[in-house]
């Protein structure tokens, strides 16, 4: 089992460009999450999906959109990237007891 | 006030000592608590969970929970340089029968000196 996978690992964008971060899990979990992590800020929840076909806003959703394509995949889209979105992005999935994290995507917006 | 608060550190301890990491939370109704370890440049990994008042031990790790004081701690006995990492405290918020979200503290950086 690969667990939670994310692509790409690194990305550099110019202000105003768009991109989609991909996430997939092979653990048959219902719930999936997108976090961002900034120095001194811990992990902040952007969006989550309790099950296939549902998505909800987290703590910092502005500037992002998500798609729960199927049970395995949960993507995060930046429509018009801003320097404030420079961060490390983690995807996670969960059963009732534990959240499992992907390896992260390091995004820089110039 | 943040929902989950941790001292950012760094907490520096000598090898073999006990490292004590602390966390406070604001929601008195919280029931489930987690400690994640995160090495630099890596993703968080779960090391302990605790749901009841008191102590829970797992190898060199002990989690302590005091719901009356809204306080969670993690003790690492016989600290090793390989324990040097950032430790994240998380509190569970349920929103359905099978789904929930975690509220994370900003993490405490632990440095174990050889």
Would you call B105 an interface residue with chain A, using a CB distance cutoff of 8 Å?
Answer: yes
CB contact under 8 A, B44 and A58: no
The answer to whether B104 and B16 are in contact (CB under 8 A) is no
pLDDT surpasses 60 at A75: yes
Confidence band (pLDDT; 50, 70, 90) for B87? Answer: very high
**B20-44 residue pLDDT tens:** 999 999 988 888 999 999 999 999 9
In whole angstroms, give the CA distance from residue B33 to residue B25: 10
- CA torsion angle for B11, B78, B40, B94 (degrees, to 10)? -90
Q: What is the mean pLDDT of residues A47-62?
A: 92
Q: Is residue A48 within 8 angstroms of chain B, CB to CB?
A: yes
Calculate the average pLDDT of chain B: 92
Residue B26 CA to its chain's centroid (Å): 15
pLDDT tens figures, A18-51: 999 999 999 999 999 999 999 877 899 999 998 8
């Amino acid at each position: 089992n690969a667990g939670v996978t994310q692509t790409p690992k690194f990305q550099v964008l110019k202000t105003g460009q768009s991109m989609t971060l991909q996430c997939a899990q092979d653990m048959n979990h219902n719930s999936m999450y997108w976090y961002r992590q900034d120095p001194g800020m811990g992990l902040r929840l952007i969006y989550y999906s309790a099950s296939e076909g549902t998505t909800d806003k987290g703590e910092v959703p502005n500037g992002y959109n998500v798609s729960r394509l199927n049970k395995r995949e949960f993507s995060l889209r930046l429509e018009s990237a801003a320097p404030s979105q420079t961060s490390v992005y983690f995807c996670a999935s969960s059963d009732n007891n534990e959240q499992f994290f992907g390896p992260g995507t390091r995004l820089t917006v110039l | 006030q943040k929902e989950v608060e941790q001292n950012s550190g760094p907490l520096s301890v000598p090898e073999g000592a006990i490292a004590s990491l602390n966390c406070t939370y604001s929601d008195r109704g919280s029931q489930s608590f987690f400690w994640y370890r995160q090495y630099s440049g890596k993703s968080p990994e779960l090391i302990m969970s605790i749901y009841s008042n008191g102590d829970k031990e797992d190898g060199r790790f002990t989690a302590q929970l005091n719901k009356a004081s809204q306080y969670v701690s993690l003790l690492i006995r016989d600290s090793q340089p390989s324990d040097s990492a950032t430790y994240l405290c998380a509190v569970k918020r349920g929103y359905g029968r099978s789904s929930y979200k975690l509220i994370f503290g900003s993490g405490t950086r632990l440095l174990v000196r050889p």
